[in-house]
Structures are given as C-alpha cells and as structure tokens.
C-alpha cells in the first residue's frame, strides 16, 4: 500500500488504499496540497484545562462517499454516507512546565472486527508508544456509523522539528499484518509548532 497523507491512515488504514483515485486530504474543507504553515498556525487552538495547556491542530480528513444500498445492511437503510480516515496533532504542557508532550491522534472507519493496532514505526525505525481510546457509542444516534477507537501516538518533538519537506512518515501495523503508511504534511507539523512557540512566549 502506498503512502497517503496524514491521517488518511491508510491516514491509517483510513483509507482507501485501493487502486481507485484516493480522496484528497482536507483541513477545514481545504485540500492540504499547497497549505502553508501560517494557515495551520492560525487554526491551532489553545485551551487551559485542569492546570495544563492543550494545543490542538485542526483535524485532517480524507473521506469517500459510500453507497450502503448496494449490499445487505443491518437495520435501517443508511443510503449514502461518508466514510474515511482523520487525525490531528495535539500537545500538552503540564502546569509550570516548559516542556510540551506531542501526540498524533488517528481515526479510521475501516479498522474493524479483530483487526487492531499492533505497532507504530517512525522513519528512523524507532517505535513510539501508543494507546487506543474507545469511543462512547452512547453519543451516536441510532443507526449512525461510529469510529470505535482512536489511536494516540506519542511523537518526539525532534521528529516534528526536523520534518522534511516530504512530510513525517508514520507506519501503522495491524495485528493481522496489514500496514498503513501515513504522512504528516510538513506545513501542518511546522504550523502546529509555530503556534506552540508563539503561545509560549
């Protein structure tokens, strides 16, 4: 499977790494191709929570319209819905600390059944720690399609600071052996860091 821009996982297997043309990755409805670091920095939110400061970059997503009427569907006929992958960078500065811990969150509508996240590998071969967070299905209206897990990866700041123009490659491996190659766009990583640097002054 070829590399796809962030959080297409497949941002993870989110997505659609098939022979068809892949859907574009967007930020706030705008394709990330040609996106500048300044545009990303302006969209980063800064929130104070429980004594900590949380920096969150805007969500990147790649979706495709799927017609569920073409096959058997359990429950109500959902018709055409948008399925895909999405993700975002965020950082947490603990109260009184000058250090920010960075994370990448990834969600995919295509990780299901027994397939689960087994490992995450960076370009230098290192394997950062990660965890999964389950979605609260009670928040989903009847018959809606939900993402059941979010993958949260610890990212060293050095990896983001040294992002090459081609972006930061991240490889996610499922326990069935399937691989999802994701790329965090360079402008996205740089804009996220610019916002954190500016807020910390």
Six-digit token string for 106: 């990834």
Contacts for 198 with CB less than 8 Å, ≥ 6 apart:
41
The pLDDT mean for the chain works out to: 77
Return the exposure string of 34-50: e unless at least 16 CB atoms fall within 10 Å of the residue's CB, then b. Answer: ebebebbbebbeeeeee
Q: What is the pLDDT of residues 48-79, one digit of tens each?
A: 999 999 999 998 887 776 665 555 444 455 56
- At residue 12 the predicted structure's pLDDT band, cuts being 50, 70 and 90, is very low
Burial of 85 (0-12, 13-18, 19+ CB in 10 A): buried
Say if residue 20's pLDDT is above 90.
Answer: no
Q: What is the pLDDT of residues 84-143, one digit of tens each?
A: 778 899 999 998 888 999 999 998 776 655 667 889 999 999 999 999 887 655 555 444
Q: Are 33 and 167 in contact, with CB atoms under 8 Å apart?
A: no
The torsion angles phi and psi of 188, rounded to 5 degrees, stand at: -65, -45
Query: Of all residues in the chain, what percent are helix, strand and coil, respectively (each to 5)?
Result: 15, 40, 45
Say if residue 8's pLDDT is above 80.
Answer: no
Contacts for 101 with CB less than 8 Å, ≥ 6 apart:
91, 92, 93, 94, 154
Q: What is the pLDDT of residue 154?
A: 97
- The whole model's pTM is what? 0.76
Q: What is the pLDDT of residue 145?
A: 44
Q: What is the pLDDT of residue 4?
A: 40
According to DSSP, the residues that pair with 87 across neighbouring strands are: 60, 106
Neighbours of 190 (CB within 10 A): 18
């Amino acid at each position: 499977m070829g590399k796809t821009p962030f959080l297409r996982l497949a941002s993870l297997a989110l997505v659609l790494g098939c022979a068809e043309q892949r859907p574009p990755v967007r930020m706030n409805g705008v394709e990330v191709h040609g996106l500048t670091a300044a545009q990303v920095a302006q969209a980063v939110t800064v929130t104070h929570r429980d004594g900590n400061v949380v920096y969150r970059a805007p969500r990147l997503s790649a979706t495709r319209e799927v017609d569920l009427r073409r096959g058997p569907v359990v429950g109500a006929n959902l018709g055409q819905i948008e399925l895909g992958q999405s993700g975002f960078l965020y950082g947490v500065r603990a109260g009184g600390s000058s250090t920010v811990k960075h994370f990448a969150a990834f969600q995919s509508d295509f990780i299901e059944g027994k397939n689960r996240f087994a490992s995450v590998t960076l370009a230098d071969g290192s394997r950062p720690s990660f965890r999964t967070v389950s979605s609260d299905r009670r928040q989903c209206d009847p018959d809606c399609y939900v993402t059941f897990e979010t993958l949260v990866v610890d990212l060293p700041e050095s990896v983001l600071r040294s992002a090459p123009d081609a972006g930061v490659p991240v490889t996610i491996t499922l326990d069935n052996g399937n691989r999802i190659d994701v790329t965090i766009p360079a402008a996205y990583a740089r804009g996220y860091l610019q916002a954190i640097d500016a807020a910390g002054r």
